[in-house]
């Protein structure tokens, strides 16, 4: 058995694993072994549907030391007027370049693709070789993203029924009378938009939505000087909504009235929140689909019929089902980030996993003990239901207050490319930046008290 020695063993070459490795290698003399089951870096992006794009600007994604994209504003399509959204192919090419042009040339990173981590430092390559990795710490991504192409539908599919993951849509050449999109999340939204973009009439689309979701407005999540005031106003509106809210329902009414949250169907109360981001143009397109089925989850599909939790729906015989029902983030509870010989990568800022992994690596390299490190990196739970919006804000606010109180940490966070706030403060005057930080420092304790009060009603 071959033995490799390193300071860190990183399991997975996805966005979080690479963002962690990039910062760690850049800020220390650590050696790292990266093990990944895929042929190339990129994690779930390597198996995502071919028309997938980031739903946040490219400027906020990737690794901290290397920009993603060309920093341009789209002129056409449903993202026109906003900063570019990298395609899945661009993201995969970017991560491949990060590994081969940046990490491997340091001489301190060993990359083992097409290999399975068996536990206890043991790795098995595709060729059957067992490798023992002796490392001081093992780094794992606590939540593994699952996309539809990674597993079979969770419901029964009768012979003769065509059910495909979104990955297969570009290969479909035979038109169908009806296209049934199964799922309520961002993948389903993207699949609906893909069908509409390619000329499928809204009347031929059936959208099975077990739940309605709150989504974020892309206009409020933009880098660049021209958007700085919009982004700051949105954040101020979030704080105002919390401060003014008299109850949980009232909070979400206020967040919607102020444009902080939006929903596709204004007549349905959302029971889902996953940090999905849509432009106003995308919202308008999705609202063109009138045949929305709200009868729970699909139990079975057979020729001419769909069985759901709350009843049966008949459909035309020439049907293509697009399965978008994978859970995505999963439902693992948060855990301690730094624990003995383990580091569990999790978000420490709302809806920004790559930035969070970079923060964790910086804290690992710059601070002397796990008590201090964990105090700076309280894990923010991944969102599933609307009240998670409050839970995420509460813990991230606590993290921010810790960062603000540490000048070295604050300087690093303020300069980090992956930090959304960096793009705002970089485009305002020094005096305005100081006012922003002062406002946050003074208001967040009060906001957190109100968030706890509202959460007590849940």
Q: What does the pLDDT look like over 406-426, one tens digit per residue? A: 999 999 998 999 998 787 777
- Spatial contact of 179 and 204, defined as CB atoms under 8 Å apart: yes
Mean pLDDT over 51-79 rounds to: 96
In-domain check, residue 319: yes
Q: Over the chain, what is the mean pLDDT?
A: 94
| pLDDT score of 136 | 97
For 27-53, what is each residue's pLDDT tens digit?
999 999 999 999 999 999 999 999 999
Instruction: Answer yes or no: is pLDDT of 330 > 70.
Output: no
In-domain check, residue 405: no
Residues 76 and 194 in one domain: no
Residues 68 and 201 in one domain: no
| pLDDT score of 458 | 86
**What is the domain range of residue 22?**
2-145+329-387
Among the ranges given (73-77, 377-381, 421-425, 440-444), the one the predictor scored with the smallest mean pLDDT? 421-425
| pLDDT score of 439 | 77
Mean pLDDT over 47-60 rounds to: 94
- Looking at 372, 387, 402, the residue that finishes a domain is 387
| pLDDT score of 425 | 72
| pLDDT score of 435 | 78
What proportion of the chain, given as a percentage, has pLDDT over 90? 87
| Pair of tokens at residue 149 | 């192409």
CA distances to 176, 249, 343 from 188, in Å: 18, 26, 33
In-domain check, residue 253: no
Q: From CA 212, how far away is CA 1, in angstroms rounded?
A: 52
| pLDDT score of 310 | 97
From the list 77, 274, 297, the residue with the least C-alpha distance to 209 is 297
The edge-to-edge listing of strands for the beta sheet with 205-208 is 162-164, 319-323, 178-182, 205-208, 291-293
Reduce the DSSP state of residue 103 to 3 states and report it: helix
pLDDT band at 165 (very low <50, low <70, confident <90, very high): very high
Q: How many domains does the chain have?
A: 2
| pLDDT score of 427 | 66
In-domain check, residue 110: yes
Residues 20 and 107 in one domain: yes
From the list 312, 288, 97, 294, the residue with the least C-alpha distance to 197 is 288
Residues 169 and 317 in one domain: yes
Residues 152 and 283 in one domain: yes
- Spatial contact of 444 and 405, defined as CB atoms under 8 Å apart: no
Q: Which residues pair with 314 in a beta bridge?
A: 305
For 232-289, what is each residue's pLDDT tens digit?
899 999 999 999 999 999 999 999 999 999 999 999 999 999 999 999 999 999 999 9
From the list 296, 280, 89, 310, the residue with the least C-alpha distance to 211 is 296
pLDDT band at 429 (very low <50, low <70, confident <90, very high): confident
In-domain check, residue 255: no
Domain harbouring 13, CATH code: 3.50.50.60
For 110-157, what is each residue's pLDDT tens digit?
999 999 999 999 999 999 999 999 999 999 997 766 666 667 898 999
- Looking at 323, 339, 367, the residue that finishes a domain is 323
| pLDDT score of 144 | 67
CA distances to 49, 195, 206, 278 from 170, in Å: 9, 10, 19, 22
Residues 194 and 281 in one domain: yes
Mean pLDDT over 48-59 rounds to: 95
What proportion of the chain, given as a percentage, has pLDDT over 70? 97
Q: Which residues contact 287 (CB under 8 A, 6 or more apart)?
A: 264, 265
Residues 175 and 191 in one domain: yes
Residues 273 and 363 in one domain: no
Residues 135 and 75 in one domain: yes
| pLDDT score of 331 | 72
Reduce the DSSP state of residue 345 to 3 states and report it: strand
Residues 109 and 63 in one domain: yes
What's the pTM? Answer: 0.95
């Amino acid at each position: 058995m071959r033995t490799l020695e390193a300071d860190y063993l990183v399991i997975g070459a996805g966005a979080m694993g690479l963002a962690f490795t990039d910062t760690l290698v850049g800020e220390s003399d650590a050696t790292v072994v990266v093990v990944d089951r895929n042929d190339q870096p990129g994690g779930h992006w390597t198996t995502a549907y071919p028309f997938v794009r980031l739903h946040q600007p490219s400027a906020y994604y990737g690794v901290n030391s290397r920009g993603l994209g060309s920093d341009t504003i789209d002129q056409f399509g449903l993202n026109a007027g906003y900063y570019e959204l990298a395609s899945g192919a661009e993201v995969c090419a970017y991560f491949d370049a990060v590994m081969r042009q940046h990490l491997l040339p340091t001489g301190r990173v060993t990359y083992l693709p097409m290999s399975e981590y068996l536990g206890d430092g043991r790795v098995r390559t595709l060729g059957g070789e067992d490798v023992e990795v002796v490392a001081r710490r093992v780094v794992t991504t606590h939540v593994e993203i699952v996309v539809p192409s990674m597993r079979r539908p969770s419901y029964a599919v009768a012979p003769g029924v065509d059910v495909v993951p979104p990955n297969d849509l570009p290969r479909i050449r035979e038109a169908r009378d009806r296209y049934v999109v199964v799922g309520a999340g961002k993948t389903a939204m993207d699949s609906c938009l893909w069908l509409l973009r390619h000329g499928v009439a809204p009347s031929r689309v059936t959208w099975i939505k077990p739940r309605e979701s709150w989504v974020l407005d892309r206009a409020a999540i933009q880098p660049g000087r021209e958007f700085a005031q919009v982004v700051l106003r949105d954040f101020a509106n979030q704080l105002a909504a919390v401060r003014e809210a008299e109850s949980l329902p009232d909070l979400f009414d206020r967040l919607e009235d102020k444009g902080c949250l939006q929903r596709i169907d204004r007549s349905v109360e959302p029971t889902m929140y996953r940090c999905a981001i849509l432009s106003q143009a995308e919202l308008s397109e999705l609202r063109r689909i009138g045949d929305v089925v709200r009868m729970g989850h699909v139990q079975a599909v057979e020729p001419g019929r769909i069985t759901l939790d709350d009843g049966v729906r008949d459909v035309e015989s020439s049907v293509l089902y697009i399965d978008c029902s994978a859970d995505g983030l999963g439902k693992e509870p948060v855990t301690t980030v730094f624990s003995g010989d383990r580091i569990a990568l999790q978000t420490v800022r709302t809806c920004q996993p790559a930035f969070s992994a970079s923060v964790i690596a910086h804290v690992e390299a710059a601070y002397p003990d796990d008590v201090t490190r964990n105090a700076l990196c309280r894990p923010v739970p991944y969102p599933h239901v609307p009240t998670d919006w409050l839970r995420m804000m509460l813990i991230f606010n606590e993290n921010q207050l810790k960062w603000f109180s540490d000048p070295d940490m604050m300087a690093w966070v303020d300069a980090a490319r992956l930090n959304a706030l960096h793009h705002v403060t970089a485009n305002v005057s020094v005096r305005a930046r100081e006012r922003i930080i002062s406002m946050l420092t003074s208001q967040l304790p009060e906001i957190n008290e109100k968030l706890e009060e509202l959460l007590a009603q849940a």
